[in-house]
Amino acid sequence: MIITLLITIGAPLAIVSFIIYSDKFKEPLDLILKTFVLGIFLCIPAGELNSWLIQSPDQSYFAGLTEESLKFIVLYFYIRPKTAFNEPMDAIVYGTIASLGFATLENLTYVYTGSPDADSFTIAIIRAISAIPLHASCGIIMGYYFGLYAFLGSKSALIKSLIIPISIHATYNYLTGFGFLWFYFLFAVMFYAQSLHKQVSDLQQTKLMEREN
């Protein structure tokens, strides 16, 4: 069904578009696309690592460790050396894009190759209001703290940029086994991510040039 497909890929792409256009100084399109595709390819090592670490459904919290660590590697080793990476908002933009590249392929996998007894449309809707916002929020939070490290030299922020998203993702996965606790947790995480994005965005609006401190 075309509506199911639109929801499946539309949810992550809508957030990507919002993040890109919230950036006062737009990033190069080629780097945006490469980062998104790289995020997609992260599903391969993540799948292998998760199959090795997660031996039962109640161990799904390990996915927080593997998936967020791989996204962090993209920021640290691929994005950080780029000349286009030159202000704090860039860390949020690329962190979110990598996260949602990953989430897009993961979403397609869950919707179309999940349980044969499950309705794909229902899965697409549920993930559009759960897993997709989670990945986006973790990308924003990771980017925020990575930006503090990259542009202010904060070593503690570098640690936070990895540990906080891992902890959030792992906690979310764990809470999915306890009714609707995950929903309240996710709402708090989204509020936190939005506040960090707004903080950086407000600061960016005061700048006349991208490279201003």
Is residue 106 very low, low, confident or very high in pLDDT (cuts 50, 70, 90)?
very high
Q: Residue 173 above 60 pLDDT?
A: yes
SS3 category, 70: helix
Tokens representing 25 are 């100084």
Domain coordinates of the chain in residue numbers? Answer: 2-23+30-204
- pLDDT digit string (tens) for 118-158? 689 999 999 999 999 999 999 999 999 999 999 999 999 99
- Copy the structure tokens of residue 150: 């990259």
Q: Which long-range contacts (CB under 8 A, 24 or more apart) does 74-77 make?
A: 74/35, 74/38, 74/39, 74/42, 74/98, 75/142, 75/143, 75/146, 75/161, 76/146
Q: What is the pLDDT of residue 1?
A: 79
pTM above 0.75?
yes
